[in-house]
Amino acid sequence: MSGFQYAYGDLLSDITKPFIIGIFIAGLITFFFPDDLTVWANEHNFISMLVMLVVGMPMYVCATSSTPIAAALILKGLNPGAALVFLLAGPATNAATMNIVKNLFNTRALIIYLSMISICSLAMGLLVDQIYVLSGIQASATVGQASEIIPYPVQLSAALVLTLLMAWNKISTLRHFRTGHSIG
């Protein structure tokens, strides 16, 4: 029973806000970014990875919100390696984390920390791009294909259930907060 309470209580509370923010940003990217991002990203794979590294590092973006953002960028044509760099570097580094590492240790430790995240993220990004090239798969063509497998009524029902669970959880949290009772 405590597993259900954690999954539909604490965990859902933790991911609701970043998930909604990620979906909102992904919608903005899908609407406003040019469709010809593919041309530039495919001609400049490594540079696009560096751009995503520079964009992702100072952002405060958790894995929950970065996933739909990366999916939207791939849908717009960003190479999967660059999206992976964003997914790895964004949640691992942000201004708050960098400040804590620097204050707890020192500037040298911060430089080593950021260097290792950068090197590993870029290496994994290059590997992912090579896998896509060798397998002959175009990432933007595969994003969203799960929707073809799952019937639309099931998709709609799942979205409705998730929305209702998030709303119910938020209302319960607010109700407990206002009455002064602890949750759980």
At residue 131, the pLDDT reads: 93
* CA 36 to chain centroid: 22
At residue 145, the pLDDT reads: 58
Q: What is the pTM of this model?
A: 0.69
Q: How far apart are CA 12 and CA 5, in angstroms?
A: 10
Q: How far apart are CA 137 and CA 24, in angstroms?
A: 28
Per domain, the residue ranges of the chain are: 2-143, 145-184
At residue 6, the pLDDT reads: 80
At residue 137, the pLDDT reads: 78
Q: pLDDT by residue for the chain (184 residues), tens digit each?
A: 678 778 777 777 877 887 788 788 777 777 777 776 667 777 788 988 998 888 888 776 777 778 888 888 888 888 899 999 999 988 888 777 788 888 899 999 999 999 999 999 999 999 999 998 898 877 765 555 556 677 888 888 988 998 998 888 888 878 877 776 555 4
Q: How far apart are CA 96 and CA 101, in angstroms?
A: 9
DSSP one-letter string for 20-57: HHHHHHHHHHHHHS-TTHHHHHHH-HHHHHHHHHHHHT
- Burial pattern 52-80, b for ≥16 Cβ within 10 A else e, equals bbeebbebebbebbbbbbbbbbbbbbbbb
* CA 175 to chain centroid: 30
Q: Which two tokens stand for residue 124?
A: 């994994």
Give the SS3 label for residue 177.
Answer: helix
